[in-house]
Amino acid sequence: MTATSAPPAPETAAGRPLPRLPWNRHLIAIAVLAVLLVPLPLILPPAQASVAVRVLIFALMSIGWNMMSGFGGMFSFGHAAYFGIGAYASAWLLVEHRVSPWIGILAGMVVAAAFAALIGFLALRYKLRGAYFALATFAFAEMLRLWATNSDFVNRAVGYHVPLRPEASWWWLQFEPSSPNYFWVALALTVVALVVSVLYLRSRAGQFTKAARDDEDAAAAVGIPVMRYKLLTMALSAAITAVAGAFYVQYFLFIDPDLAFGSSVSIQAILPAVIGGVATVWGPVIGAVVMGPLNDVTATMLRNPPAGLEFLQGRSGLDVIVYGTLLIIIVLVLPKGIYGTIRQRWFRR
């Protein structure tokens, strides 16, 4: 088995393999997009720029989820665990030990990857599949949430506030609230995550992972150490999502157990990928672009509700209703997501 042999393409519902782009074209597209997006925060008004940062955080979370659940085929319903570990690791190091957030991000990645590998080892060792696997990941995220809520070690339900610094600093990753630097940092992190995922997927390890997803027994039969590559994928996936968590804390300056480990966080990691297209490089990014602004639109609507619905003023929940509706529609109508469907149409001869 060499990496040069054609990888098994993900099958469509009709059993016809999807066409795929050569990996180099993905890398070129990432580079072009990154360059195009650099001036964005200078053009956008500040309120829109913060939406753009949120889009990037969503994208980052979901790129991580997609790695494990899309390309790895292990449906995670507990990515809040890794997001939260990233967030808490960097916040804890910063608040309790005055450690730079940059080191905090790295620490969060390492801890999240280790935790993912541990969960993965247990789940694979005991052969959890399908619904059982999803429920186990969910249980671990919830256990972390409950533990954090009741442990003095991480400040209980209060969580952490990032201390404000008198002046902007790259080392402490803190700028004026309207500074374009936040966007650039998030953009850089997202681009790195995308490049890493493309490089990983075209590497031997990535091909082995997808082979194991498509037919585990066959992959094992040709000598692929399935367990090792699945764990590697999970660890990488967790590390990417942890970066999103760590950046989230530095941007919003606050974290508590629900914001870090709540089940809604897991859902936020799943939604962009499902909307954009599971197991595609661009799906999470496109889904995040769809999802990010929705939050703002609904908040504006609830501030000034249309006539007849005045009683809704100041309420929350509409954004999630829209997410939920979108989720159902996408799964029923475009099960391959926006990007997946377009790609399929595009290449149809």
Partner 1 sequence: MTSPADQGHVAAAGDVATLDPDEARAPAGRAVPWRRIAVITALIVVAVVLAYVRSGSGVVVVQAVATGVLIGGVYGLIAMGLTLIFGVLDIVNFAHGSFLALALFLTFGLAQAGLHPYLALAVSVPAMFLLGVLVQRGILAGAMGKPLENQLLITLGISLIIENALLLFFGANPRSVPLPGDRGVPIFEAVANLSRILAFVGALLLAGLLYLLLQRTRLGTAIRAVAANDTGAQLVGIDTRVIYAVTFALGTACAGAAGTLVAPLVTIEPTTGALFNIVAFVVVVLGGMGNVVGALVGGLVIGLAEQLGGIYLPGQSPLLSVFIVFVLVLFLRPQGLFGRSA
| Binding footprint of partner 1, residue count (CB under 8 A) | 40
Does position 77 interact with partner 1 (CB under 8 A)? The reply is yes
Does position 299 interact with partner 1 (CB under 8 A)? The reply is no
Does position 12 interact with partner 1 (CB under 8 A)? The reply is no
**Least spacing, CB of residue 132 vs partner 1, in Å:** 6
C-alpha 144/C-alpha 85 separation (Å) is 9
Buried b (16+ CB within 10 A) or exposed e, 66-88: bbbbbbbbbbbbbbbbbbbbbbb
- Figure out which of the listed residues 49, 67, 91, 136 binds partner 1, where binding follows CB under 8 A: 136
- Figure out which of the listed residues 1, 143, 188, 218 binds partner 1, where binding follows CB under 8 A: 143
C-alpha 29/C-alpha 79 separation (Å) is 27
Return the range that interacts with partner 1 (CB under 8 A); candidates 86-94, 99-107, 129-137, 238-246: 129-137
Does position 166 interact with partner 1 (CB under 8 A)? The reply is no
C-alpha 328/C-alpha 271 separation (Å) is 11
Half-sphere exposure of 104 (CA within 13 A, CB side): 29
Does position 301 interact with partner 1 (CB under 8 A)? The reply is no
N residues, the chain: 349
Does position 153 interact with partner 1 (CB under 8 A)? The reply is no
- Figure out which of the listed residues 58, 229, 251, 323 binds partner 1, where binding follows CB under 8 A: 323
Does position 334 interact with partner 1 (CB under 8 A)? The reply is no
CA distances from 18 to 10, 68, 71, 145, 345 (A): 6, 20, 14, 39, 10
Cβ proximity of 30 and 198 under 8 Å: yes
Binding site for partner 1 (CB under 8 A): 75, 77, 122, 126-128, 130-132, 134-136, 139-140, 142-143, 146-147, 149-150, 263, 267, 270, 274, 312, 315-318, 320-321, 323-328, 331-332, 335
